Structure 1
Amino acid sequence: MKLYIPILFLLILSSAYSRKDFTGKVFEQGTEQSLPGASVRIENTQYGANVNSKGIFTIKNLPQNFKNGTLIISMIGYESIKKRVDFDSDNAAVYYLKVQPLQTGEVIVSANKKVQAIQDVPISVSVIDKRVLIDRGINRLDDALEYVPGIEVNQDDVSIRGSAGFSFGVGSRVTLLIDGFPMMAGDNGDIKFDALPIFNIDRIEVVKGAGSALWGTGAIGGVINLMIEEPNEKANIKYRAFSGLYTQPRYEQWRFTDGANLSSGLNLSYSQKFNKLSLVTSGSLYGDQGYRDFDDNFRWNLFSKVGYEFSADTKLKVILNGALEDRADWVYWNSLDSATRPPTSANRDIRIDSYKYSAFSELSHSFNQNHFGLVKLGINQTQYNNSYPLDNPEYRQSDATAYFAELQGVSNFGILGRGINLTYGASQVYTDVKSFTYGDRYQHIVSGYAQAEYSLPDVFTLTFGGRLDKELTEGIESDLEFSPKVGINVPVAQGLNLRASAGRGFRVAAVAERYSAILLQGFEVLPNPDLKPETSWSYEAGGSWQTLLGNTPFEIDFVVFNNDLENLIEPTFVTDGAANIQFRNVVKARIQGVETGLRTLLFGAVGLETSLTLMNPRDLSTDRILNYRSEVLWYSRVLLPLKYFEFQIDYRYKSRVQNIDAQLGLIVRDTEARVDMNVVDVRLIFDMKKLADLPFRFTLNANNLFDYYYTEMVGNLARTRYLSLQFDGEL
């Protein structure tokens, strides 16, 4: 905070020059109803505003010489618009958004550390908005990601286009951010799914392919950015309550209780903007008795986001987050015959308790319409331990704290008569680990980056840049990692954009991968401090096409991709016939594939979304399919809105995992029990606002409707049928 005070003083002084406001109105097309909460942003700047209850927005204190720019106006449930405006002659203009039940058209993303339209990004991006999260009753990030094209979730491991298999959740190849702040655990380098404020997310952005050129270590497979909702001037209190049960298994030998196990939750949130102060705060409670024996968990989450505008140019944002989870502790099933039970050797008195706390702050300032910067500071702490006594060989404990700092700037220049946008900065992450399991360790990574975007309107947008990273860790020899990136986006015709990109990714080994000394369910994990960083090169070419066939809108996305990966760190059995595992650099791989997606609105009402990913993930050293990877992913969704309710159906298919580590079968029983995944989810949503003008709705959910049995991870029965009732409302 002491660092902020002199910076803040200088920034406020620099704001004292002639200003103007830009005002407009936003209404629903056809009804002329105001759209409070709609977002209005000026592309490539920090300037923006939200629409009020009367449909009016005001972007305050623009520099007098700020003559023109590109407005991006968006709102959930409406087709976004992107329009070039003159900030003098177009003042007080009226804009109309078209109702769009499907998420089509331009969507604001921050894949390049700035606000822009998704059609202008030269890489593949998938966006999940909060409407979809509410409809599906999502309360964990991993549940949301299961519906994203090209993504597999193998218990605690997230794989984008085959980038990861199974590694006990250690060493994620996907970087997780919350409003642009890193949320990776300092010891395991993993994603803590239970610690995220899903109830306050406005959208989830999934950037596919190597992202280290901007985001640094860990972004080999891609980047996931959780964007938190912004408050409006009117107070908003929203709530959700749900409860449901897991149905009894069809097989008698799998039944472990006479009744039905329950899973329930409660969310409560308040948000409001008070002139210069804004607030979003929430609390969540969840209890799950589990669909398997001794597989229960309880967790809570508290979250707050506070904003303050010192001036129209200088703004402060603070995020506070805390979470707790108490759960059972076992990894693999007893056998296929008793797939819902832990091994007979499991100690049912043992629990795992984990705590996660994080605090982030961002001070941003617009110097003028062409230059703005920001300073980010943050701390992310994770703690866990099981309840074994200290002298038990299976006792595990770790306390990790990651300290984060970043200085970033964005500048716009005129070159060759056209505009170039430059994003640049420097960052550091220092991690301090105090652990019974890993020892006392630290890890320090410093970096600098720059990315330029040169645009010839209606001709092409060229993106190029790179990042330098250096690990400064005692006892570790590391090279300077350079991660370049280049991409191009070409608007060929109205609604048709082509894109291509290439980029390098890398990941420094996590503390847990280097120093693990764990005994767990018959496995012993050995340390390996000599691990080298993983590296990758990602290439893709594709495009998107938005068109009307008659009165039917279609949005098609298509891409071919190639990912070359070296020195992949994998858990490896070190001795034949023994259960000793060590993380090693063992794999050189190439993953080639195609991905296509379609969205449409049939008959003006029936929404259809479908995506297909075909991959050939090969281990080049053995010429075999990589372990724990599916080759085919097919996800589809149908929405049928009726007068007072809406029917939705999701279908997810993943092909059978062909290869696993052969020695795993010596420890875990029935590892060959692997099948294709065929899961159908259905829901019926009753909107009481339409029926009786009441501000709530309730949803009947049936997840895994046909009670299809499969494994997401070897030796682990995936979630069985779950039936629930959910209430959502606002005050």
Structure 2
Amino acid sequence: MRSVLLALFTFLSLSIQAQVKINGTVNDADGALEGAIVFIQGTNIASVTDRTGVFSLEVKAAENLALEIRLVGYKKVVKSLSFGGENSLEFNITLEPDVLGLDEVVVSANRYETDKKESPVVVNVIGSKTFNRTQSQSLAEGLNFQSGVRVETNCQNCGFTQVRLNGLEGPYTQILVNSRPVFSSLIGVYGLEMIPSYMIDRVEVVKSGGSALYGSNAIAGTINIITKEPVLNTWEARSNFSVIGGEALDWNHSVNGAYVSNNLDFGISAFATQRNRDAYDANDDGFTELVELDASTIGLKSFYKFSKNTKLNVGLNYIDEFRRGGNKLSLRPEFTDITEQLEHEILMTSAEIEQFVGDNNKLSAYISLQNTDRDSYYGGLGGSYTAEDSLLAANAYGITDDQSLVTGLQWVRSSNTPHSWTTGVEYQANETDDRIPGYLRLVDQSVKSVGYYAQWEWTASDRIKFLTGARYDRSMVEGQYRVGSFQRSIDNDFGVFSPRFTFLYDINSNLQFRGGYARGFRAPQAFNEDLHIASAGGEPVFVLLSENLEKETSDALTASWTYTKVVGKQQLEVNVQGFYTELNNPFVLVNTGSQLPNGSIIEEVRNGKGAVVAGVNTEINYALGAQWVVQTGATFQSTRFDEEQVLFEPENGGEGQLVSSQRFMRMPNAYGFGNLTYEYSDGWQFSLSNVVTGGMIVPEILQESGNLVLRNSDVFWDATIKASHHFHIGRYLHIEASAGIQNFLNSYQDDFQRGPTRDSDYIYGPGRPRTYFFSIKISNND
């Protein structure tokens, strides 16, 4: 018995001695850094520095342990741990700025955190600093500052926007919120403008097929909106005032804050925004080019750690938005010539439980819900005042209910070995009921899918890494679609296998090559542009799905070169990415020339024969410390159908000529952006940004005949200049005042149609004319 007790005592003594306390401070050239994350690599043992830069954590002594220190905007630092029998270790760590974000961590490449530089998939990041420098008030404005990405406005009456990724329309891109696909087709109609930039921590863009991880609608890639995490005890209040085109006022106010407990077991961040924008009429015809907007958004994000191995994350976002365009905005819609009026109430909630099993396994169970209630009006008298027109206008009100659910389980195994695995199962469902009784308009659609995915990451050597995986989706689409006497139905149940293979080769310490293949798909269903209603000739334009519409698939190849060089305070990053995407059975929108007895125009979605999108994205970024920062990007591409695609066909041999084209509409072959920022030492910052849109083909429905013609647009230079001054009052109160001019060259469309019979979809180029702005921000944190 004595020997047993002695052995037990010896074991406990060794265990106690093996616990080593690690203390230290984290600083930069200006002093202590708060909010730096300090952790032991390969484990979930972590700490966060306080206001004085101090951290403390405990770890069992072992071989091959390393301490890693990270803070957004700084280069990471890794320190090897050497245990010589001491009970504690002390570190004094100095971080250097990472202005270009070369050491950023991303989650969109493989559904777990990884260094951007070590990812086999190219992930581009738009950070909060870019939104601020470019005076981007919403997600829609900030996305333009990324190569291969372009946001366009598609309607003068309602402000419908869509993002095009690598030349493909909005429905080809999967919009994610915190890595969950809760952005439904209905929200996609107006949602890009509903997401205020103040709720965004960063946006991760993957410009290659993402169906192998995220399922349907990720043919072009994914745009992952990462909202702000509670990391520090902070607060901020901001107001922005703009004058659009010298007449329309735009007010935008926001507050946000975060609290984190001293023991780091609980944290919560919250925000609220309010935006009021007047309508803008560019050609003095009494009809809007920019719609009236009144939007309120609130949200929160929180975590609670039950233990060091168990963490709960919850989130909530609520959006209440009213928008209206057309004419005579002070009257009820039915007394106007044309009105598109929409009021959305959107609630998005999420919860995730993370369970670490040992140091190498992480299990996650998650659920995300979205509910949208929409009241709409699409109609008006159309310039005519007959009894029939008045009756139709009075009954052009509609109501829409939309719900989305995403839930799943995911397992990630990562270790110090060359192999990592991710696998999971995910269920997605979306129910949409959209009705306008006056037009006998109905979209009653249910889309459900169960996806099983797995991927394997293999570090074959210190220079070569492979990532391969696949996803199988079982999708069920049921829908009833009706406008007047036109009816369609869909009842599809099909399976799709979406493989992906990518690799990373470090040619040397500065140059990397990545290549890959991905397969994707889109289910036959109503997408965002199908739920949007335009107007032409004073009549509404509706979209119907064709009979026997089949799923669309894609095969995508990518190859990219990344060159990075760091010399002292100078950073250089050059990215060149080639892409080739082949579409099979692509969805094509055709103006059939069909009209209902009340004059409503019918367009139809059909399967095309095939299409190819190919091109090159380039980016060159340079930083001389934080003082000078240059970011540029350009895309050169070709978008063509395999055969001439019909865009307009006269009904039953009626008036007008058949119009067809092999080119994609509204898609320039060249476009890009540039940012130049200079930061002066006494708190001044000056920035110049520019978005260039090359010439493109734009379809126009003629007011006189209703026939369709194709126009060639001009080149646009949407340049913004901004000056900011930052100063301190005391130690913890900071004020930043900014002023500038957006689109100061006033590069803006000048051939809008006029009057109640205009084609509201005939709009292209920059989203606003010359705009003067002033903003002020007060916060307790730099």
Shorter-chain TM range is 0.7 to 0.9
Tell me the residue number matched to 2:591: 573
Q: What amino acid sits opposite 1:627 in the alignment? A: M
Residues 637 and 403 of structure 1, relative CA distance in 2, 3 Å threshold? same
Distance in structure 2 (CA, Å) of the matches to 1:609 and 1:730: 27
Cα deviation, residue 655, structure 1:
0.8
Distance in structure 2 (CA, Å) of the matches to 1:507 and 1:222: 12
Cα-to-partner distance string for 1:474-505 (whole Å, 9 max, x where unaligned) = 45223311111111111221222211111111
Cα deviation, residue 132, structure 1:
2.0
Tell me the residue number matched to 1:313: 309
Runs of at least 5 residues in structure 1 that lack an aligned partner in the other structure: 1-16, 165-170, 249-259, 335-342
SS for the counterpart of 1:438 is strand
Moved more, 545-554 or 237-246: 545-554
Distance in structure 2 (CA, Å) of the matches to 1:267 and 1:473: 40
Distance in structure 1 (CA, Å) of the matches to 2:187 and 2:253: 29
SS for the counterpart of 1:652 is strand
Instruction: Report whether the alignment pairs 1:633 with 2:651.
Output: no
Residues 596 and 153 of structure 1, relative CA distance in 2, 3 Å threshold? same
Cα deviation, residue 133, structure 1:
1.9
Contact 1:244 1:725 in 2 (8 A): yes
Q: How does 1:70-469 map to 2 (within 5 A)?
A: 71=68, 73-76=70-73, 78=74, 80-81=75-76, 83=78, 85-86=80-81, 92-100=90-98, 102-111=99-108, 112-155=110-153, 156-164=161-169, 172-185=171-184, 187=186, 192-233=191-232, 235-248=233-246, 260-274=247-261, 275=263, 276-292=265-281, 293-294=287-288, 295-330=291-326, 347=337, 351-387=341-377, 394-412=396-414, 418-436=417-435, 437-469=441-473
Structural RMSD (CA)? 3.5
Cα deviation, residue 93, structure 1:
3.6
Cα deviation, residue 676, structure 1:
1.0
Distance in structure 2 (CA, Å) of the matches to 1:191 and 1:44: 42
Distance in structure 1 (CA, Å) of the matches to 2:45 and 2:217: 31
Contact 1:194 1:323 in 2 (8 A): no
Cα deviation, residue 535, structure 1:
1.6
Moved more, 573-582 or 648-657: 573-582
Distance in structure 2 (CA, Å) of the matches to 1:285 and 1:227: 21
Tell me the residue number matched to 2:382: none
Tell me the residue number matched to 2:755: none
Cα-to-partner distance string for 1:633-692 (whole Å, 9 max, x where unaligned) = 121111111233111001221111135478899648996372111111110011113999
Tell me the residue number matched to 1:723: 772
Cα-to-partner distance string for 1:141-181 (whole Å, 9 max, x where unaligned) = 110101111111122211111022xxxxxx62211122222
Moved more, 653-662 or 486-495: 653-662
Cα deviation, residue 66, structure 1:
9.0
Cα-to-partner distance string for 1:245-288 (whole Å, 9 max, x where unaligned) = 1234xxxxxxxxxxx22101110012111242211111100000
Tell me the residue number matched to 2:756: none
Moved more, 453-462 or 548-557: 548-557
Contact 1:278 1:306 in 2 (8 A): yes
Residues 43 and 151 of structure 1, relative CA distance in 2, 3 Å threshold? farther
Moved more, 581-590 or 139-148: 581-590
Cα deviation, residue 291, structure 1:
2.9
SS for the counterpart of 1:192 is helix
Residues 269 and 514 of structure 1, relative CA distance in 2, 3 Å threshold? closer
Contact 1:423 1:450 in 2 (8 A): yes
| TM-score, with length taken from structure 1 | 0.85
Q: How does 1:490-569 map to 2 (within 5 A)?
A: 490-511=505-526, 520-521=535-536, 522=539, 523-528=541-546, 530-548=548-566, 552-569=570-587
SS for the counterpart of 1:181 is coil
Contact 2:33 2:51 in 1 (8 A): yes
Tell me the residue number matched to 1:702: 741
Contact 2:449 2:474 in 1 (8 A): yes
Q: What amino acid sits opposite 1:719 in the alignment? A: R
Contact 2:210 2:518 in 1 (8 A): yes
Residues 513 and 388 of structure 1, relative CA distance in 2, 3 Å threshold? closer
Instruction: Report whether the alignment pairs 1:610 with 2:608.
Output: no
Task: Identify which of 488, 498, 504 aligns with 1:489.
Answer: 504
Cα-to-partner distance string for 1:202-251 (whole Å, 9 max, x where unaligned) = 21111111111111111111111122222235x31111111121234xxx
Cα deviation, residue 425, structure 1:
0.3
Number of residues of Structure 1 aligned to a counterpart in Structure 2: 679
Cα deviation, residue 329, structure 1:
3.8
Q: What amino acid sits opposite 1:83 in the alignment? A: V
Cα deviation, residue 42, structure 1:
6.3
Tell me the residue number matched to 1:584: 606
Cα deviation, residue 397, structure 1:
2.4
Distance in structure 1 (CA, Å) of the matches to 2:579 and 2:61: 46
The percent of aligned pairs where both chains have the same amino acid is 18
Cα deviation, residue 354, structure 1:
1.1
Tell me the residue number matched to 1:679: 718
Cα deviation, residue 531, structure 1:
2.5
Distance in structure 2 (CA, Å) of the matches to 1:88 and 1:571: 67
Task: Identify which of 603, 614, 624 aligns with 2:662.
Answer: 624
SS for the counterpart of 1:695 is strand
Moved more, 442-451 or 561-570: 561-570
Cα deviation, residue 347, structure 1:
3.7
Contact 1:544 1:556 in 2 (8 A): yes
Q: What amino acid sits opposite 1:161 in the alignment? A: N
Distance in structure 2 (CA, Å) of the matches to 1:602 and 1:558: 22
Distance in structure 2 (CA, Å) of the matches to 1:282 and 1:87: 44
Cα-to-partner distance string for 1:12-62 (whole Å, 9 max, x where unaligned) = xxxxx999687464634444x1211234466776665433212234567x7
Distance in structure 2 (CA, Å) of the matches to 1:534 and 1:480: 12
Moved more, 178-187 or 630-639: 178-187
Cα-to-partner distance string for 1:64-121 (whole Å, 9 max, x where unaligned) = 7795368361323x3x226374486896444332124x32422111121111111112
Moved more, 486-495 or 180-189: 180-189
Cα deviation, residue 702, structure 1:
0.9
Residues 575 and 466 of structure 1, relative CA distance in 2, 3 Å threshold? same
Distance in structure 1 (CA, Å) of the matches to 2:189 and 2:422: 27
Residues 479 and 88 of structure 1, relative CA distance in 2, 3 Å threshold? farther
Task: Identify which of 651, 655, 659 aligns with 2:694.
Answer: 655
Residues 188 and 354 of structure 1, relative CA distance in 2, 3 Å threshold? closer
Cα deviation, residue 298, structure 1:
0.4
Q: What amino acid sits opposite 2:312 in the alignment? A: L
SS for the counterpart of 1:493 is coil
Q: Rg: which structure is higher?
A: 2
Distance in structure 1 (CA, Å) of the matches to 2:63 and 2:337: 67
Distance in structure 2 (CA, Å) of the matches to 1:472 and 1:439: 16
Moved more, 115-124 or 33-42: 33-42
SS for the counterpart of 1:213 is helix
Moved more, 520-529 or 453-462: 520-529
| TM-score, with length taken from structure 2 | 0.79
Contact 2:303 2:311 in 1 (8 A): yes
Cα deviation, residue 473, structure 1:
3.5
Contact 2:556 2:582 in 1 (8 A): yes
